[in-house]
Amino acid sequence: MVVARNGAELAKALGLPATAAHKWRVRSELTSVLIAAVEKEGLTHAEVARRAKTSRTRITSILNRNLQHVTTGLLIRILGSLGYKVKLSVSREKIAA
């Protein structure tokens, strides 16, 4: 049995590049903000779908953290449709020797 405590460990255990962990982290953070926004504003899945011009079933999947076939761009578009602006910050990580 393999135990992965974070995205980086999971990517390594699955034999995926470290970049996969970065992608998962970004998408997870965007999803967390989206879930909090929907809860805070008391929106229905149907209302979010209407604003974002996508299906209710897709919104329900995303809000249940099922991100299969969901792009980072779609998450940003949904947040934008709810009046949120996504800001990007890039920094260089120290690479272990």
Q: What is the largest CA-CA distance in the chain?
A: 49
Q: Which two tokens stand for residue 56?
A: 């209710």
Whether 13 maps to a domain, the answer reads yes
Of 67, 73, 68, residue with least CA distance to 32 = 67
Residue 30 has pLDDT above 70, yes or no: yes
CATH of the domain at 57: 1.10.260.40
Q: What is the mean pLDDT of residues 21-27?
A: 85
The average confidence (pLDDT) of the chain is: 90
Whether 23 maps to a domain, the answer reads yes
Q: Is the pTM of this model over 0.85?
A: no
Whether 2 maps to a domain, the answer reads no
Cα separation, 23 vs 14, in Å, equals 15
pLDDT tens-digit map of 48-92 = 999 999 999 999 999 999 998 999 999 999 999 999 999 988 888
Whether 34 maps to a domain, the answer reads yes
How many distinct structural domains can be found in the chain?
A: 1
- Mapped onto helix, strand or coil, the DSSP state of residue 44 is coil
Structural domain harbouring 13:
7-81
Cα 44 from chain centre: 19
Phi, psi dihedrals of residue 59, rounded to the nearest 5°: -65, -45
